[in-house]
């Protein structure tokens, strides 16, 4: 009798464990593919481009989880989230190196080829702009070493015997880097590295000068809506060399790798989707224009993603081999309305 009861109890226990196991598998399968959103616009747009493809091309649900950089990356490493379309690897170098050693996170390739930063001037200063009736005021301005010749064009209202370089705001690491660059290029006699106070003020200084056709010299980076809205030229610097960078900063900024990363288990269990994102690549021009559209039309990341998919169809079709998936996405896009 006791043996019979024991066997019955074992069977009940095994059934319960089996049900729990199958339930866990079902719950995992039902969980949406989760993207990590960071605080900048471009990653949120790319996450939604990728999400649109997954939802409409592969019939899977997606979700977007906001997080600051390291907590979000660690969430992908743990498997709480699955993917993010932008990892600025050089900004979190130590974490990235360690995460790769552990094997819990994998790179699916580069989203765009580089993310340049440096000192910019409006193109009309160098080449003129016939449509706006603007003549070139600095036709020989190509390099940072040409700046002493043109300092008066950028005259600082607060120090009129010097030109003004709009620097990154105080508190940004690049603010001190640019100050060191001014000295390294022997520009400290001719220029001040001006603190604009905030990123908004920096962008406003560029926009205000550009829209009035005036000279402006400013630090900025790409991809951003500012670089999409305004035709700016990055001044040449000596090529990046590690020893120079680590001593005087008298060279170009180091290149920045922007990767697509995924939880390794997710990548292994979703090979079809993973292959799409291994081919996912965009250009700086496409990114700048998409972000400019987002800014000027005052739309959210989801609408900007649809704009990208509608305007760069040949680009995203090249990521997908399955024609039936492409057809599904095209059909979904036909129903989308975007702001002109």
Q: Which CATH number characterizes residue 286's domain?
A: 3.40.190.10
**What pLDDT score does 1 carry?**
45
Give exposure, 242-271, as e/b (b: 16+ Cβ within 10 Å): eeeeeeebbbbbeeebbbbbbbbebbeebe
**What pLDDT score does 29 carry?**
52
Identify the bridge partners of residue 5 per DSSP, sorted by sequence position. none
Identify the bridge partners of residue 122 per DSSP, sorted by sequence position. 232
Query: Which phi and psi angles does 179 have, rounded to 5°?
Result: -65, -40
Choosing from 245, 279, 303, the residue where a domain stops is 245
Q: Distance of alpha carbon 245 from its chain centroid, rounded?
A: 24
Alpha-carbon span 252 to 245, nearest angstrom: 8
Instruction: Compute how many other C-beta atoms are within 10 angstroms of the C-beta atom of residue 303.
Output: 19
Residue with tokens 């998919």: 309
Choosing from 190, 225, 245, the residue where a domain stops is 245
CATH number of the domain residue 202 falls in: 3.40.190.100
**What pLDDT score does 3 carry?**
52
pLDDT digits (tens, 9 = 90+) for 313-339: 999 999 999 999 999 999 999 999 888
Q: Does 7 reside within a domain?
A: no
Query: Which phi and psi angles does 165 have, rounded to 5°?
Result: -100, 120
| Token pair of 211 as six digits | 């829209």
- pLDDT < 50 positions in the chain: 1-2, 6, 13-28
| Together in a domain, 227 and 124 | yes
Alpha-carbon span 157 to 192, nearest angstrom: 11
**What pLDDT score does 15 carry?**
47
**What pLDDT score does 11 carry?**
52
| Together in a domain, 109 and 121 | no
Q: Does 11 reside within a domain?
A: no
Q: Does 22 reside within a domain?
A: no
Alpha-carbon span 150 to 233, nearest angstrom: 15
**What pLDDT score does 92 carry?**
84
Q: Does 311 reside within a domain?
A: yes
- Domain encompassing residue 296: 31-113+257-334
Domain count, the chain: 2
- DSSP of 99-138, one letter per residue? HHHHTSEEEEEEEES---EEEEEEHHHHH-BGGGTB--S-
**What pLDDT score does 39 carry?**
86
**What pLDDT score does 75 carry?**
94
Instruction: Compute how many other C-beta atoms are within 10 angstroms of the C-beta atom of residue 330.
Output: 15
Q: Which residues make Cβ contacts (< 8 Å) with residue 36, sequence separation at least 6?
A: 47, 64, 65, 66, 67, 72, 73, 75, 76, 81, 83, 84
| Together in a domain, 130 and 187 | yes
Q: What is the CA radius of gyration of the chain?
A: 26
Model confidence, pTM: 0.82
Choosing from 245, 265, 286, the residue where a domain stops is 245
Residue 279 contacts residue 291 (beta carbons within 8 Å): no
List the one residue out of 145, 164, 281, 288 whose CA is nearest residue 229.
Answer: 288
| Together in a domain, 135 and 239 | yes
Q: Does 13 reside within a domain?
A: no
**What pLDDT score does 7 carry?**
54
Pairing mode of beta strands 62-66, 105-112: unpaired
| Together in a domain, 206 and 311 | no
List the one residue out of 124, 82, 132 whose CA is nearest residue 265.
Answer: 82
């Amino acid at each position: 009798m006791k043996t019979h009861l024991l066997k019955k109890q074992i069977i009940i226990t095994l059934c319960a464990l089996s049900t729990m196991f199958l339930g866990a598998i079902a719950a995992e399968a039902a969980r949406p593919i989760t993207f990590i959103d960071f605080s900048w616009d471009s990653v949120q747009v790319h996450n939604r481009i990728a999400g649109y493809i997954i939802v409409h091309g592969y019939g899977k649900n997606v979700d977007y989880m906001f997080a600051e950089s390291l907590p979000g990356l660690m969430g992908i490493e743990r498997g709480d989230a699955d993917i993010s379309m932008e990892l600025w690897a050089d900004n979190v170098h130590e974490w990235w190196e360690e995460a790769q050693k552990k094997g819990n996170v994998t790179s699916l390739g580069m989203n765009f080829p580089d993310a340049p930063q440096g000192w910019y001037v409006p193109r009309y200063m160098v080449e003129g702009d016939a449509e706006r009736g603007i003549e070139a005021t600095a036709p020989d301005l190509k390099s940072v070493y040409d700046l002493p010749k043109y300092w008066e064009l950028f005259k600082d209202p607060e120090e009129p015997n010097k030109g003004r370089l709009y620097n990154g705001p105080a508190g940004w690491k690049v603010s001190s880097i640019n100050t060191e660059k001014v000295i390294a290029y022997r520009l400290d006699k001719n220029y001040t590295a001006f603190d604009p106070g905030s990123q908004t003020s920096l962008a406003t200084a560029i926009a205000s000068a550009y829209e009035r056709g005036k000279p402006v010299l400013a630090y900025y980076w790409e991809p951003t809506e500012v670089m999409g809205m305004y035709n700016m030229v990055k001044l040449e610097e000596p090529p990046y060399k590690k020893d120079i960078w680590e001593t005087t900063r008298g060279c170009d900024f180091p290149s920045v790798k922007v990767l697509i990363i995924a939880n390794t288990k997710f990548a292994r269990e979703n090979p079809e989707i993973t292959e799409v994102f291994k081919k996912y690549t965009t250009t700086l021009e496409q990114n700048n224009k998409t972000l400019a559209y987002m800014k000027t039309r005052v739309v959210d990341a989801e609408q900007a993603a649809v704009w990208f998919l509608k305007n760069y169809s040949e680009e995203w079709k090249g990521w997908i081999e399955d024609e039936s998936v492409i057809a599904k996405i095209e059909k979904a896009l036909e129903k989308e309305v975007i702001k002109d």
